[in-house]
Amino acid sequence: MLRSFFNTLSRSTALQRMAAGFGPARRIARRFTAGETFDDAAAVVEELNGRGIGAILNHLGEAVDSRDDALGAAADYGAMVERADAAGLDATLSVKPTHLGLGFGENFFHETMSALVETASRTGRAIEVDMEDSSLTDATLNVYLSLLDQSAAGLRIALQTCLFRTEGDLSRLVERGGRVRLVKGAYDEPADRAWQKKDDVDRSYARLVDACFGDGARAAGFNPAFGTHDHKMIDTICETAAARGARRDDFEFQMLLGVRRDLQQRLADDGYRVRVYVPFGSHWYPYFMRRMAERPANALFVARAMLGE
């Protein structure tokens, strides 16, 4: 119930406006974000890289109000490719489809995304596509698949194990030579499309881990990433990979900035590939609220911070 409460708050534009101008809220959000500017994020990425961990840079933003805003966001991402190249960062760039204009139709998103993929391919920088709520899954997958051959540097897409459809989507992506980031799913979804109980979502995750290391996937050279902090799931992934003869660098763990830093480092020290999602920018409110929804205990951390403890 608390999860739905925070997810509902995440969609409130009035609260978003209030939070943006409220200094203490901005400071609290810093637990999960790198700061407001690219330079803030680059400093975090350099620190991660120094510890043997890659990064996934995300310029915070979603559900933009106009095509011009989406074009502006796409231009910012293009500039980020150049700045990340110049700074020699080990970082992919991850975009939210509605930040790059999916709200204005699949064709418009295809245009903005295609330009970004082309820019990134020139210097071999990989791009990732976040998955938003299930009303956007088809359009997001369509654009992803249409750009797959155009990307010379790797194009990864997130799939959510809470959705019934994901098993089918995963096999399609394996067949097409796609790359996947498997996550549980951060959005409220209706019962006719998604498992509602955490145990069911976890069981679905475990089944899909199995598929990621199945014979078909291994023969196709599938290179999965697992976006989770769930230590039991991480054990399952390591055990399944080892049992199927996958090497530790045949797949990747991905985690969020500010969550389970100890686990991130342990996996990297054990020789696994690890990337940390590093969001930055002023549009932090919905992202922050989804982090609250995932772990309502985080609200205690907020309360303590507000009281200045």
Interaction residues for ligand FDA, span 188-227 (CB under 6 A): 227
Is residue 31 close enough to count as binding ligand FDA by CB under 6 A? no
Q: Determine the residue type at 52.
A: G
Which one of 40, 69, 76, 230 is in contact with ligand FDA (CB under 6 A)? Answer: 230
Is residue 155 close enough to count as binding ligand FDA by CB under 6 A? no
The dihedral formed by the CA atoms of 234, 238, 239 and 243, expressed in degrees to the nearest 10: 150
Which one of 62, 111, 130, 252 is in contact with ligand FDA (CB under 6 A)? Answer: 130
At closest approach, how far in Å is the CB of 260 from ligand FDA? 6
At closest approach, how far in Å is the CB of 120 from ligand FDA? 18
Residue 94 or 119: the one with the smaller Cβ distance to ligand FDA is: 94
Residues with catalytic annotation? 130, 181
Residue 17 or 280: the one with the smaller Cβ distance to ligand FDA is: 280
Which one of 116, 131, 234, 267 is in contact with ligand FDA (CB under 6 A)? Answer: 131
Residue 218 or 263: the one with the smaller Cβ distance to ligand FDA is: 263
At closest approach, how far in Å is the CB of 288 from ligand FDA? 9
Cβ contacts of 116 within 8 Å, gap of 6 or more = 74, 77, 78, 81, 93, 95, 100, 127
213-231: burial string, b at 16+ Cβ within 10 Å, e else: bbeebeeeebbbbbbbbbe
Is residue 166 close enough to count as binding ligand FDA by CB under 6 A? no
At closest approach, how far in Å is the CB of 232 from ligand FDA? 8
In the structure encoding, which two tokens stand for residue 221, read together? 């050279």
Is residue 36 close enough to count as binding ligand FDA by CB under 6 A? no
Residue 151 or 166: the one with the smaller Cβ distance to ligand FDA is: 166
At closest approach, how far in Å is the CB of 63 from ligand FDA? 14
Interaction residues for ligand FDA, span 38-67 (CB under 6 A): none
Interaction residues for ligand FDA, span 262-301 (CB under 6 A): 277, 291, 294-295, 298
Which one of 30, 260, 261, 266 is in contact with ligand FDA (CB under 6 A)? Answer: 260
Query: For residues 84 and 79, what is the distance between their CA atoms, to the nearest angstrom?
Result: 9
At closest approach, how far in Å is the CB of 6 from ligand FDA? 10
**Contact of 86 with 308, CB cutoff 8 Å:** no
Would you tell me which residues interact with ligand FDA (CB under 6 A)? 130-131, 158, 160, 183-187, 227-230, 254-256, 259-260, 277, 291, 294-295, 298
